[in-house]
Structure formats: C-alpha cells, structure tokens
Amino acid sequence: MSDTPALRVADLSQNSPTSFDIRPDSAAMTALASELDLRGLRKLRFTGEINAQNQRDWHLTGMLGATALQVCVVTLEPMTTRIDVPVERFFLAGMETSDEPEVEMPEDDNAELLGSHIDPQAVMVEALALAIPHYPRKEGVELGEAVFTAPGQEPMRDEDTRPFAGLAELQDQLKKDR
C-alpha cells in the first residue's frame, strides 16, 4: 500500500515505546478503498505505539481515524462515514496455535501470535475493515415495508407473520360474538 515497512521485533526497544504515524498517500487510499469496496477513502491516519509487555510479548495501542465514502443501502445515495476508533493488539510469543480444522476462539480477539515482524499498517487495514459499517444507512432513513403478491390476492404484510397477531383478532371476534 505505501512504503511504511513492518517493524522487526528484534529492533524494537524493550525500554521505550516505538511510535508510528501512518498516513497513506492518495494512491494507497484509492487502492484500499477498492479492496474494501468503498466509493472512496479520505483522511486516513493511524497513530500509536508499540511497547514491550514483558521479555517476549508486545502491546500495540493506537488511534485510527478515517473518512469513508459509501452508498446508503436504503436510498443508494452517496454518504460519508467518519471513523474514529481506538485499536489494541497483543503480540504473544507463547500463544498456542492449532492445525485442527475447528478451533475454539480465544477470549481475547486482540491477541495474535508474535512473528519476526509487527506490521502497524496491516493492523490499520484490519481495524479499518472491522470499523466500516457493512450496511451504511443515512441518518433518519428507514427501509419501510415492501409488499408483493399475485394479482387478485390479498398481500401478506410483516405484521401478518407475527405468531400472536391472529390471536388478537380471534379474541376480538370472540368478544363480539358474546
């Protein structure tokens, strides 16, 4: 995406934090917007630091800010979504992994297996993908109800599918018959 390299763990300081400030250029943001199926991406910035947790583990904390251009799923009009989220990852040297096809998810989904490098840019892309609304909707816009039926038939509405809707009508009918 850009020329921000991954940080080699062996080069990180155990005694002081390693800061990063990632601001991709417009070409990188265009490529990322395409990858994430966005109409566009503006003002993307990821800042933070990496600290030693103990002798072998590392802790990344940061703040992700971005402006995503999306399409409203109700009106199909362009819209802007502002994202400002804190990001936290733990890189653990002693994390257990499994080759089994099905594995229990760890309680902390911010923990990752420590490799030879820590890539804040990859963390930024992952955090952005998770923070972007999958079904963006303009403020105040409601989907409403669509009703379809065959000609000559009475349409079935959402309220007709409720399990106790018929009971209320039956109760009203019984009261009238008394």
What pLDDT, on the 0 to 100 scale, is given for residue 165? Answer: 64
What pLDDT, on the 0 to 100 scale, is given for residue 95? Answer: 72
Cα→Cα distances 133→35, 127, 130, Å = 15, 12, 8
Per-residue burial over 25-34, b if 16 or more Cβ lie within 10 Å, else e, is: eeebbeebbe
Phi, psi torsion values for 48, nearest 5 degrees = 170, -160
**Whole-angstrom Cα Rg for the chain:** 25
Per-run averaged pLDDT (10 residues), the chain, 178 residues: 73 90 94 94 94 89 96 90 95 74 66 86 95 88 74 75 72 81
118 contacts 19 by C-beta, under 8 angstroms: no
Task: Tokens for 8, please give them.
Answer: 């080699």
Q: Among 26, 111, 36, which residue's Cα sits nearest to residue 70?
A: 36
What pLDDT, on the 0 to 100 scale, is given for residue 1? Answer: 52
Q: What is the pTM of this model?
A: 0.73
